[in-house]
Amino acid sequence: MALVVQKYGGSSLENADRIKRVAERIVETRKAGNDVVVVCSAMGDTTDNLLDLAQQVSPIPPAREMDMLLTAGERISNALVAMAIHNLGAEARSFTGSQAGVITDAAHGKAKIIDVTPGRIRQALDDGAIALVMGFQGVSQDTKEITTLGRGGSDTTAVALAAGLRADVCEIYTDVDGIYTADPRIVPNASALKTISYEEMLEMAASGAKVLHLRSVEYARANNIPLRVRSSYTTDPGTLVTGFMEDIPMEEAILTGVAHDRGEAKITVAGVDDTPGISGQIFRVVADAEINIDMVVQNVSHIGTGKTDITFTLPKSDGQTAMEALNRAQPQIGFEKLLYDDHIGKVSLVGAGMRSHPGVTATFCESIAGAGVNIELISTSEIRISALVRDVDLDKAVAALHDAFELGSDKVAEVHAGTGR
Amino acid sequence: MALVVQKYGGSSLENADRIKRVAERIVETRKAGNDVVVVCSAMGDTTDNLLDLAQQVSPIPPAREMDMLLTAGERISNALVAMAIHNLGAEARSFTGSQAGVITDAAHGKAKIIDVTPGRIRQALDDGAIALVMGFQGVSQDTKEITTLGRGGSDTTAVALAAGLRADVCEIYTDVDGIYTADPRIVPNASALKTISYEEMLEMAASGAKVLHLRSVEYARANNIPLRVRSSYTTDPGTLVTGFMEDIPMEEAILTGVAHDRGEAKITVAGVDDTPGISGQIFRVVADAEINIDMVVQNVSHIGTGKTDITFTLPKSDGQTAMEALNRAQPQIGFEKLLYDDHIGKVSLVGAGMRSHPGVTATFCESIAGAGVNIELISTSEIRISALVRDVDLDKAVAALHDAFELGSDKVAEVHAGTGR
């Protein structure tokens, strides 16, 4: 008998009929002899509707009350799923994050889980019941206030509970049937991966793959919880996220997939003195505005002027804030111009096989060039290469890479020999 | 500085605009120098929508999950009102029933408040904030489960908090501007009462006046909390419910108003043996089905047969259950026929003045007869007379009584002298 944590996203719960189908799947899992803990997100567009109501009463709603408001969404969905399970003859009890022992810090709207004390969940399982836990929410340790976990919160709730309960697997149900080698809307012969290591999944998520949120994968890796990403519409086993990169034998390491991201913008701070500490000054200004930056390039000095340009990317949604902060800091930094460009796209190739196969970078660049696409910026990690291109060229670049590294078939992608990477 | 508890019903909160107007009223009360605790019901038709969703997933939803589901409604409305208050520059914090210390028994869907420990509310007030409490909900004492209080629950939450906090007044905001001498839709010259005693209000509520629920008035009387019923659409002071009947000087006691009720049905158990204990048998069957009966009449024995009929009224919604229960008990009770009639209406005259003015009953019967309406059944209490009439005659009877006792003007109703009551 295994202990299975299942998480269902909002698209799997968009109406009463979908809720009944989800209940059937949960009861099947229970009948197969497993202990089952379920985490449900809010139904379909409930959260958007609540956000809209909040906007109507207050342009800048206080974060504490926003958390109180938004947690109503998961309350509704989890209670309804519990009812649907009862209707199938199984016992189910829904619990708030607080009741389930999801203890967080006090940062409303973006709380971090600091402990999980799932005594009532364990009791429900011992009583033979299916336990449902409202995702995305917790209670602050000292102030006992209701908190929400921010983006990817329900996945994080599921993984944290799986860790706290020492579950055998955490299944993330969504509207796609796994992690793909590329977005099938762009690359029709993209294929679903059977397994992927935590590190590769992290790189894919950080590079724009939307299926799993970075945070829940980090939590799963830290606690070694196998994650299974699968569809609530099919019985397909989906993709298993498990295992550490260092445990993958070199000869089995492959290239995993191509991810893309349309959510970034590029800022260039042009004509700054090419002196030590100048980039530190710039990034401190951005960091103080609580903005995460992604790719960074510092150009070589313009000959004879002693001036240089610094370019970085950041989420589009933070673009205005960053530009304003940098503009205010102009007197200290002393740049000549500030340029903003949000017509960019990022394409990334991810895979542990990159470590063992020379020439990946060369093939990466050649295949993008072969598609007639210009690379504006490149950055790499141990198992990822990312390039910035024009947004209108992004799909071409994704398809070209997917094709060049032969990710579309079941075959392991062959990497062309080259002059190292 | 007074401590004011305000309760806003769903119709006062049906959209963002109404929520903002309610917030303005709350902030005005705070700015006038009062400590303010607010209890909000769910917005407009939220509860109906949630009930509808529950029906879609399960025909008989478990009561525990129903409570979890329905409490989402008050969570949404209270958080939104708190946001709207913030937007006006005042501080507000919303609390769940559990956080506010509303401790109940474990009867899901119809829990009773057994204690109020409003430590967090007191703290919020001490911090200068307006405290909002989600009405209609609590937490069970031993099992720590979320409960709901059933019908009239939000009013009861408000009164219980007022008692627990020793508030100076509990204001119940609704869509009418007080307690009327009769339903103004039936009697155009009905007038709003300035004050009414707890007992008179209880009789009015029990007789069909919908503005206040019986339960909250009982709670207010037991704790001597003045209740003010007023409209959230006007600045009219409304009606103050306060004072005990025994404290009203005889010569000031008046007739309060005419209430009516279209929600009852009449069952006649015909042809039962006129022996001791027979009515006890019948009402035990009804009580075992958890149905409250209202008026009761046992006819005199049919001459020569030793048989009699027993007639009683009960809520229409319980009619089918009662008929089935009695039908099953036919072998023991041995009645000849079971008759069911839901085309009835009940009209009641209420007022402490009834005690001191003889002839009220005579005028009551005369005025109904004068309107050409037949009385089918009469029952009385110390300060109330009720009559059952045909449903189509109900409005005529209400208007005739209101007119006969001159309740429409500001004058104290003059009671015609007669032969005692």
- Following CA atoms A308, A314, A318, A322 in sequence, which dihedral angle do they give, to the nearest 10 degrees? -20
**A89 CB within 8 Å of a chain B CB:** no
Q: Topology of B3-175 in CATH? A: Carbamate kinase (3.40.1160)
Q: In chain B, which residues have their Cβ closer than 8 Å to the Cβ of A19?
A: 57
Tell me: pLDDT of B411 over 60.
Answer: no
* A78/B72 CB distance under 8 A: no
Tell me: pLDDT of B419 over 60.
Answer: no
Across the interface, of B61, B87, B94, the residue whose CB is closest to A57 is: B87
What are the residues facing A400 on neighbouring strands? Answer: none
Tell me: pLDDT of B36 over 90.
Answer: yes
Q: Would you say B174 and B12 are in contact if contact means Cβ atoms under 8 Å apart? A: yes
What's the pLDDT at A355? 78
How far is CA B297 from each of CA A148, B253, B311, rounded to the nearest angstrom? 59, 30, 5
**A87 CB within 8 Å of a chain B CB:** yes
* A57/B99 CB distance under 8 A: no
How far is CA A326 from each of CA B22, B94, B337, B414, rounded to the nearest angstrom? 42, 38, 89, 82
Across the interface, of B56, B65, B96, the residue whose CB is closest to A94 is: B65
> Model confidence over A256-288: pLDDT tens digits?
999 999 999 999 999 999 888 888 999 999 999
Q: What Rg do the C-alpha atoms of chain A give, in angstroms?
A: 23
Helix (H) or strand (E) holding A385: strand A384-390
How much of chain B exceeds pLDDT 90, in percent?
Answer: 79
| Furthest C-alpha separation in chain A | 80
Q: CA A13, A14, A16 angle in degrees (round to 5)?
A: 80
| Closest to A350 (Cα-Cα) out of A204, A144, A164 | A204
> Model confidence over B8-18: pLDDT tens digits?
999 999 999 99
Tell me: pLDDT of A229 over 80.
Answer: yes
**B108 CB within 8 Å of a chain A CB:** no
| Closest to A295 (Cα-Cα) out of A195, A388, A399 | A388
Q: Which residue has the higher pLDDT, B371 or B245?
A: B371
**A412 CB within 8 Å of a chain B CB:** no
Distance CA A101, CA A121 (A): 9
Q: Is B185 assigned a ligand-binding role in the annotation? A: yes
**A80 CB within 8 Å of a chain B CB:** yes
Structure tokens, A262: 């349309």
Task: Name B342's Cβ contacts closer than 8 Å, sequence gap at least 6.
Answer: B264, B265, B266, B316, B319
Distance CA B196, CA B204 (A): 10
> Model confidence over A85-136: pLDDT tens digits?
999 999 999 999 999 999 999 999 999 999 999 999 999 999 999 999 999 9
Which residue ranges of A are tagged as binding site? 7-10, 47, 74, 174-175, 180, 185, 210-211
How far is CA B29 from each of CA B6, B23, B38, B235, rounded to the nearest angstrom? 10, 10, 11, 12
Domain at B266-336: CATH code: 3.30.70.260
Across the interface, of B66, B72, B80, the residue whose CB is closest to A54 is: B80
Other CB atoms within a 10 A radius of the CB of residue B116 amount to: 20
Q: Would you say A82 and A132 are in contact if contact means Cβ atoms under 8 Å apart? A: yes
Tell me: pLDDT of B421 over 90.
Answer: no
A94 to chain B: closest CA residue: B65
**A49 CB within 8 Å of a chain B CB:** no
Task: Name B58's Cβ contacts closer than 8 Å, sequence gap at least 6.
Answer: A83, A84, A86, A87
* A82/B76 CB distance under 8 A: no
Other CB atoms within a 10 A radius of the CB of residue B343 amount to: 9
**A88 CB within 8 Å of a chain B CB:** no
A139 to chain B: closest CA residue: B99
Distance CA B30, CA B129 (A): 9
The whole-angstrom distance between A71's CA and the closest CA on chain B is 8
B83 to chain A: closest CA residue: A61
What are the residues facing A229 on neighbouring strands? Answer: A172, A239
The stretch B4-10 carries a mean pLDDT of 96
Distance CA A279, CA B224 (A): 70
**A52 CB within 8 Å of a chain B CB:** no
Phi, psi of B204 (to 5 degrees): -60, -45
Please count the residue pairs, one from chain A and one from chain B, whose beta carbons lie less than 8 angstroms apart.
116
Is residue A237 exposed (0-12), middle (13-18) or buried (19+ Cβ within 10 Å)?
Answer: middle
Distance CA B421, CA B400 (A): 19
> Model confidence over B335-381: pLDDT tens digits?
999 999 999 999 999 998 887 777 899 999 999 999 999 999 998 88
Distance CA A151, CA A112 (A): 11
A59 to chain B: closest CA residue: B87
Distance CA B116, CA B165 (A): 9
DSSP, residue by residue, A222-276 = HHT--EEEEESSS----EEE---GGGS-GGG----EEEEE--EEEEEEEEEE--T
Across the interface, of B58, B64, B81, the residue whose CB is closest to A84 is: B58
How much of chain B exceeds pLDDT 70, in percent?
Answer: 96
Q: In chain A, which residues have their Cβ closer than 8 Å to the Cβ of B73?
A: 72
* A83/B58 CB distance under 8 A: yes
Q: Is B47 assigned a ligand-binding role in the annotation? A: yes
Alpha helices in A166-210 (DSSP H): 198-206
Distance CA B238, CA B193 (A): 8
Distance CA A44, CA A40 (A): 11
* Least confident range of A219-223, B191-195, B353-357: B353-357
Phi, psi of A285 (to 5 degrees): -60, -45
**A50 CB within 8 Å of a chain B CB:** yes
Tell me: pLDDT of B168 over 50.
Answer: yes
Q: Would you say A207 and A386 are in contact if contact means Cβ atoms under 8 Å apart? A: yes
The whole-angstrom distance between A46's CA and the closest CA on chain B is 12
- Following CA atoms A48, A54, A58, A59 in sequence, which dihedral angle do they give, to the nearest 10 degrees? -10
Q: In chain B, which residues have their Cβ closer than 8 Å to the Cβ of A69?
A: 75-76, 79-80, 83
The stretch B283-292 carries a mean pLDDT of 92
Other CB atoms within a 10 A radius of the CB of residue A38 amount to: 30
A198-206 helix and A214-223 helix, angle to the nearest 10 degrees: 160
Across the interface, of B86, B96, B146, the residue whose CB is closest to A58 is: B86
* A144/B99 CB distance under 8 A: yes
A62 to chain B: closest CA residue: B83
**A305 CB within 8 Å of a chain B CB:** no
A68 to chain B: closest CA residue: B79
Q: In chain B, which residues have their Cβ closer than 8 Å to the Cβ of A62?
A: 82-83, 86
* A76/B78 CB distance under 8 A: no
Across the interface, of B62, B82, B99, the residue whose CB is closest to A83 is: B62
What's the pLDDT at A304? 78
Q: Which SS3 state, helix, strand or coil, does residue A39 take?
A: strand
**Residue B198 CA to its chain's centroid (Å):** 12
Question: In residues, how long is chain B?
Answer: 421
Return the residue matching tokens 């206080």.
A62
Helices then strands, each counted (H, E), chain A: 12, 20
What's the pLDDT at B178? 93
B60 to chain A: closest CA residue: A87
> Model confidence over A380-418: pLDDT tens digits?
888 999 999 999 999 999 999 999 999 986 533 333 333
Q: In chain B, which residues have their Cβ closer than 8 Å to the Cβ of A137?
A: none
Structure tokens, B219: 């709670």
Distance CA A107, CA A115 (A): 15
| Closest to A71 (Cα-Cα) out of A105, A37, A38, A95 | A95
The stretch A187-202 carries a mean pLDDT of 93
Whole-number average pLDDT of chain A:
92
What's the pLDDT at A359? 86
Q: In chain A, which residues have their Cβ closer than 8 Å to the Cβ of B68?
A: 75, 78-79, 82, 94
Tell me: pLDDT of A356 over 80.
Answer: no
| Furthest C-alpha separation in chain B | 80
Question: In residues, how long is chain A?
Answer: 421
**B146-148/B137-140 β-pairing:** antiparallel
Helix (H) or strand (E) holding A140: strand A137-140
Confidence of residue B128 (pLDDT cuts 50, 70, 90): very high
The DSSP code for A291 is -
Q: In chain B, which residues have their Cβ closer than 8 Å to the Cβ of A92?
A: 65
* Least confident range of A80-89, A243-252, B150-159, B262-271: A243-252
What's the pLDDT at A382? 87
Phi, psi of B183 (to 5 degrees): -65, 115
Q: Is B353 assigned a ligand-binding role in the annotation? A: no
Return the residue matching tokens 């409003």.
B118
What's the pLDDT at A282? 94
Q: Is B396 assigned a ligand-binding role in the annotation? A: no
Across the interface, of A57, A84, A146, the residue whose CB is closest to B80 is: A57
- Most B CBs within 10 Å: which of A15, A21, A57, as the mutation test of the B interface? A57
B50 to chain A: closest CA residue: A76
| Closest to A110 (Cα-Cα) out of A138, A134, A78, A142 | A138
What's the pLDDT at A278? 87
Q: In chain A, which residues have their Cβ closer than 8 Å to the Cβ of B16?
A: 53, 56-57
The whole-angstrom distance between B93's CA and the closest CA on chain A is 7
Whole-number average pLDDT of chain B:
92
Burial A146-169 (b: 16+ CB within 10 A, else e): bbbbbebbbbbbbbbbbbbbebeb
Structure tokens, B75: 């969570």
Phi, psi of A389 (to 5 degrees): -135, 175
The stretch B86-99 carries a mean pLDDT of 97
Q: Where are the domains of chain A?
A: 3-175
